[in-house]
């Protein structure tokens, strides 16, 4: 999806360097230094406008959250929300989440969130799906032992593919929801902007699994 460029985004990001990282490779192995307290680190890849990660941080002050987003205009909107929230246990990262193995040291992350990732439906694009084995290898490297991945989508094809991919990789399933919003799994569910907008059109699928 093409995102309209926001002229204010770049200067706003520059003015809030205490809350957003634009050179993430320099933080490898030192992400805890970005936070007031050393706490477990959880990472969302593709934060959109930031609703999910900011609300998660508000509800879980004992956890440090990192939100990755490649689109400058999109992450600037999330940054503005973060500034308004006053939260200190969230940091944003402007980069491509596909390169996560170059951003974190081995075992530096406790949990990963993949929310409504691009389904890349064409077969020739399979390796671009964030739940493909080529990505799982990198996730396993940066996650602590038994570190979890939480995945949500409204795309049944991607959900079925992800089930197969996780299973074939030898992961252990902790939760599998075929209609999250009409199940017990919806208790405490923090929604993304996309989820709020499109959940009425069909079921939301959710997986939680660990290596």
Judge whether 13 lies within some domain.
no
CATH number for 56: 3.40.50.150
Question: What's the predicted TM-score (pTM) here?
Answer: 0.95
Is the pLDDT assigned to residue 1 strictly greater than 60?
Answer: no
Annotated binding site: 44, 69, 96, 118, 122, 154, 192-195
Query: Catalytic annotation on 101?
Result: no
b/e sequence 90-113, b meaning 16+ C-beta within 10 Å: bbbbbbebbebbebbeeebbbbbb
What is the mean pLDDT of the segment spanning 205-210?
Answer: 98
Q: What is the pLDDT of residue 175?
A: 97
The model's pLDDT over 135-144, given as tens digits with 9 standing for 90+, comes to 999 999 999 9
Judge whether 28 lies within some domain.
no
Judge whether 22 lies within some domain.
no
The whole domain housing 105 covers 37-210
The model's pLDDT over 163-197, given as tens digits with 9 standing for 90+, comes to 999 999 999 999 999 999 999 999 999 999 999 99
Judge whether 8 lies within some domain.
no
The model's pLDDT over 52-105, given as tens digits with 9 standing for 90+, comes to 999 999 999 999 999 999 999 999 999 999 999 999 999 999 999 998 999 999
Q: How many distinct structural domains can be found in the chain?
A: 1
Q: What is the pLDDT of residue 3?
A: 67
Alpha helices (H) along 5-64? 9-15, 51-59
DSSP secondary structure, the chain, as one string: ------TTHHHHHHHTTTTEES-GGGGTT-GGGGSSS---EEEEE--TTSHHHHHHHHH-TTSEEEEEE--HHHHHHHHHHHHHHT-SSEEEEES-GGGGGGTS-TT-EEEEEEES-----SGGGGGGSTTSHHHHHHHHHHEEEEEEEEEEES-HHHHHHHHHHHHHTT-EEEEEESSGGGSGGGTTPPPPHHHHHHGGGSPPEEEEEE-
Annotated binding site for substrate: 122, 154, 192-195
The model's pLDDT over 25-53, given as tens digits with 9 standing for 90+, comes to 999 999 999 999 999 999 999 999 999 99
Judge whether 185 lies within some domain.
yes
State the distance between the two ends of the chain, measured CA to CA, in whole angstroms: 32
| Catalytic-role residue among 15, 23, 110, 118 | 118
Judge whether 152 lies within some domain.
yes
What confidence category does residue 11 fall into, taking pLDDT thresholds of 50, 70 and 90? very high
Judge whether 24 lies within some domain.
no
Annotated binding site for S-adenosyl-L-methionine: 44, 69, 96, 118
């Amino acid at each position: 999806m093409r995102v309209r460029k926001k002229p204010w985004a770049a200067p706003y990001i520059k003015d809030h360097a205490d809350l957003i990282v634009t050179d993430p490779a320099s933080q490898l192995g030192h992400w805890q230094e970005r936070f007031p307290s050393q706490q477990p680190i959880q990472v969302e890849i593709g934060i959109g406008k930031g609703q999910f990660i900011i609300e998660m941080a508000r509800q879980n002050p004992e956890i440090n959250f990192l939100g990755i987003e490649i689109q400058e205009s999109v992450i600037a909107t999330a940054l503005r929300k973060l500034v308004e929230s006053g939260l200190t246990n969230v940091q944003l990262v402007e980069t491509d989440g596909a390169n996560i193995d170059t951003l974190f040291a081995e075992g530096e992350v406790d949990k990963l969130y993949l929310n409504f990732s691009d389904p890349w439906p064409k077969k020739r694009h399979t390796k671009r799906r964030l739940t493909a084995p080529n990505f799982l290898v990198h996730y396993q490297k940066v996650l602590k032992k038994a570190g979890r991945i939480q995945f949500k989508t409204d795309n049944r094809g991607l959900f079925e593919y992800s089930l197969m991919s996780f299973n074939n990789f030898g992961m252990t399933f902790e939760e599998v929801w075929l209609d999250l919003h009409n199940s017990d799994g919806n208790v405490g569910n923090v929604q993304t902007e996309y989820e709020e907008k499109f959940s009425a059109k069909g079921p939301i699928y959710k997986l939680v699994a660990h290596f």
